[in-house]
């Protein structure tokens, strides 16, 4: 029985690949759409880089942070 399940899974994967390939062939992505996406991603990346430059992240400290020694409380 386990062999039938793996065969069915392989057949479904192959069917999915064929469906995606057929859809891509019938509905190709236009160059205009690609350029729009590229420009949007570029703008977002530039905004993120500006934010990173404005607010530098402090480097993480290794180990525990040291506390100042407490004064002796003798009275």
Residue 62 domain-assigned (yes or no): no
> Which H/E stretch holds residue 32?
helix 31-54
Mean pLDDT of 50-75: 70
Q: Say yes or no to pLDDT of 31 above 70.
A: yes
Residue 63 domain-assigned (yes or no): no
Residue 1 domain-assigned (yes or no): no
Q: Say yes or no to pLDDT of 75 above 60.
A: no
For residue 41 the two structure tokens come to: 């991603």
Residue 23 domain-assigned (yes or no): yes
pTM for the predicted model, two decimal places? 0.43
Residue 60 domain-assigned (yes or no): no
Domain that holds residue 28: 14-48
Count up the domains in the chain and report the number: 1
Residue 67 domain-assigned (yes or no): no
**Could you give the CA distance from residue 27 to residue 12 in angstroms, rounded to a whole number?**
22
Q: What is the pLDDT of residue 17?
A: 97
């Amino acid at each position: 029985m386990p062999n039938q399940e793996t065969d069915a899974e392989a057949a479904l994967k192959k069917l999915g690949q064929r469906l995606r390939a057929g859809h891509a062939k019938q509905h190709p992505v236009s160059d205009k759409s690609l350029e729009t996406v590229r420009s949007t991603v570029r703008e977002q990346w530039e905004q993120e880089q500006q934010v990173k430059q404005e607010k530098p992240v402090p480097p993480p400290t290794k180990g525990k942070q040291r506390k100042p020694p407490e004064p002796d409380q003798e009275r």
